[in-house]
Amino acid sequence: MRVWAYMSAAVLCVGSALSQPARADDAIDAWARWATTPTVWKGQIVPAPERVPRPSVSGVTFDSLELPVRVHAPASKARRGARALAALEQAYVAWRGFGWPLPVPDADLGGSPAFDLYLLPGAAVASDARVDQERAVSDFDAALTYATVSAERSGAQLTACVHSAFAQATARALEPAESASLVHATGEYCAYRETGEAGCDDSFVLGQNAPEHSMLGSDLAAAGSGGMFLAMLSERHAAGSGDFVRALWELARQRSKGLVADDRLRGSPDVWEVLARVLETTEEHWPEEVAEFAAARFFAGEPSRRAAAAYRVFAELPSDAAVPLLADLDRASLPRHVRTAAEGGIEALGSSYVRVRVDACATGACELRVWLRGELGPKWSLTALRLGADGREIGRTHAPPRDVPEAYLPLAISSDTREVILVVTYLPRTTPDADRGVPAPRGAELAIELE
């Protein structure tokens, strides 16, 4: 990019010398100096994360004998504090084995140099990461962080929430400019990867129950959807090892010192931008991954669905993790119009599902015709999954996203097809950016007929 800038500036200067007065040359020279100056950041800038003082937890502390980690717990939750320490030690060892940078000493802000996790009574969120008042010293952007977990969590949920909180804190320390949605999603992914639980507080289940909800949001359902998306990417591109997710984070690290104001950070490239660029090297694109995710998450929840899952993350979800159907149709109910706006619409990166039962076509040729018309804004994706008698996918047809909010999908129904699942997905027109907020939901309408 810098070579291009120099060449462009040189060509402009030569052309101007032949046809423009001296003051134009001066203006072009000034522009060239600005464009090639390394100490000027011309990309996205975001506020530095809010620094939150350490909570006051009067009670007991639990220190690891082998690892630099500490748990603060109320005296009434001493047993829970001991269990949280065991989970925190597991998370630390897993993170170290993951190959991620480990937390740095925090200047005794929690009473010792160890990483601190606080069990908080009445916490608003089950697991969270917060930035200290002090800032870590690093060549790259970095922060000193600590973690909090609700003191009301127990058992397997406590373990999953501790894993998520630790992962969030270390990810936030690694790249403080990253969006809260990606930080939280990474925590949920790590909790699932290391414990097998469906995220902290069953976040994966919440995400599945609200598939139309955007994973760019900051709530638990959004974090669950984001965590499942990262888990799917890991399975697709790194055999579930986690190396792909780690690489996304490492490539998103930045240096802001001297380039922006002290209370600001460089916000680009973020993890979504890195993902887009990495996929381009394999001749893939992020909308394709989102469409794959939308289709794959249908195969979860009910035993007949998860038995046909293509990814382990969906096959392992509990029975209450099925995505809801916007409509469940058979031949007698067609033709039919189905509106997503009746349920509040679909948010960016979210999806809605319609099932069409075509058992009556088993003895003869049929054609299912689907028209999509959506509101302006998104690039609407329409996918049709053909399922056999055993519920497994036997074919897929996809209407590519278009600039106009319309699509048409004719689908020949073979004799072995028993159901067709229609998946409608809201794809943003540009690379997703959670720092810009979640766009307003948009509605779409399907017209379905069977000939």
How far apart, in whole angstroms, are the C-alpha atoms of residue 92 and residue 103? 9
How far apart, in whole angstroms, are the C-alpha atoms of residue 175 and residue 269? 11
Q: DSSP assignment of 158-178, as one string?
A: HHHHHHHHHHHHHHHHH-TTS
The CATH architecture assigned to 325-450 reads: Sandwich (2.60)
Mean pLDDT for the chain? 88
Neighbour tally for 131: CB within 10 Å: 20
Given a cut of 70, is residue 20 above it in pLDDT? no
3-state secondary structure of 211: coil
Q: Do domains 47-289 and 325-450 have the same CATH topology?
A: no
- Write the burial class of residue 26 (CB in 10 Å: 0-12 exposed, 13-18 middle, 19+ buried): exposed
| 128: its two tokens | 């969270």
Amino acid at 224: G
Q: What is the pLDDT of residues 177-232, one digit of tens each?
A: 999 999 999 999 999 999 999 999 999 999 999 999 999 998 999 999 999 999 99
Residue extents of the structural domains in the chain: 2-37, 47-289, 325-450
Given a cut of 80, is residue 5 above it in pLDDT? no
Lowest average pLDDT, out of 11-25, 85-99, 111-125, goes to 11-25
Q: What is the pLDDT of residues 236-254, one digit of tens each?
A: 999 989 999 999 999 999 8
Q: What does the pLDDT read at residue 262?
A: 84
| 392: its two tokens | 């497994």
Higher pLDDT pick, 37 / 155:
155
- Write the burial class of residue 55 (CB in 10 Å: 0-12 exposed, 13-18 middle, 19+ buried): middle
Query: Which CATH number among 1.10.287, 1.10.390, 1.10.3470, 3.40.50 corresponds to the domain 47-289?
Result: 1.10.390
Res. 432 pLDDT band, cuts 50 70 90: very high
Residues 350, 213 contacting (CB under 8 angstroms): yes
Q: What does the pLDDT read at residue 365?
A: 77
How far apart, in whole angstroms, are the C-alpha atoms of residue 249 and residue 183? 10
Given a cut of 70, is residue 434 above it in pLDDT? yes
3-state helix, strand, coil in the chain (%, to 5): 40, 20, 40
Given a cut of 80, is residue 106 above it in pLDDT? yes
pTM of the model: 0.89
Backbone φ/ψ region at 9: left (φ over 0), alpha (ψ -120 to 50), beta: alpha
Q: What does the pLDDT read at residue 10?
A: 41
Given a cut of 70, is residue 129 above it in pLDDT? yes
Given a cut of 90, is residue 88 above it in pLDDT? yes
Spell out the alpha helix ranges (H) of 99-140: none
Cross-strand bridge partners of residue 370: 409, 448
DSSP 8-class letter at 269:
S
Whether residue 269 is preceded by a cis peptide bond, meaning omega within 30 degrees of 0, is yes
Amino acid at 368: L
How far apart, in whole angstroms, are the C-alpha atoms of residue 165 and residue 285? 31
Residue 306's alpha-carbon distances to 243, 296, 301, 326, 360, in angstroms, are 26, 10, 6, 19, 25
Q: What is the pLDDT of residues 345-383, one digit of tens each?
A: 999 999 999 999 998 776 667 899 999 999 999 999 999
Cross-strand bridge partners of residue 226: none
Given a cut of 70, is residue 60 above it in pLDDT? yes
Mean local confidence (pLDDT), 27-52: 71
